[in-house]
Amino acid sequence: MFLEDTPWHVEWMGRILPQVLELASVHPEATIFTLFLTPETPAAAQGAWKEYYRKWWMMTGEHLSPDLLQLVPELAALVPPARIFQKTIYSPWLGGELHAALQREQVERLVISGGETDVCVMATALGAVDLGYHVTLVGDALCSGADETHDATLKVLGDRFSTQLNVMSTRDVLASLA
Helix/strand/coil for 92: coil
Strand order in the sheet with 165-168: 109-115, 134-143, 165-168
Residue 59's nearest CA partner among 122, 114, 5, 120 is: 5
Q: What's the rounded mean pLDDT across residues 32-37? A: 97
pLDDT in tens, 125-151: 999 999 999 999 999 999 999 999 999
User: Which CA distances in Å does 19 have to 23, 140, 152?
Assistant: 6, 7, 21
Q: Do β-strands 32-36 and 134-143 pair in parallel, antiparallel, or remain unpaired?
A: unpaired
pLDDT at 177: 87
Query: φ, ψ for residue 99 (rounded to 5)?
Result: -60, -40
Q: Which domain CATH number covers 80?
A: 3.40.50.850
- Predicted confidence at residue 178, as pLDDT, reads 79
User: Considering the chain, what is the average pLDDT of its residues?
Assistant: 96
| Domain extent for 71 | 13-177
Q: How many domains does the chain have?
A: 1
The confidence score (pLDDT) of residue 49 equals: 97
User: Is residue 7 domain-resident?
Assistant: no
The answer to whether residue 2 is domain-embedded is: no
Is residue 158 situated within a structural domain?
yes
On whether residue 117 sits in a domain, the answer given is: yes
Q: Is residue 172 part of a domain?
A: yes
pLDDT at 152 over 90: yes
pLDDT tens digits along 36-84: 999 999 999 999 999 999 999 999 999 999 999 999 999 999 999 999 9
The sign one gets for the Cα dihedral 12, 77, 176, 126 is positive
- The Cα–Cα gap between 87 and 116 comes to 14
Residue 104 lies in a domain: yes
Cut 0.75: pTM above it: yes
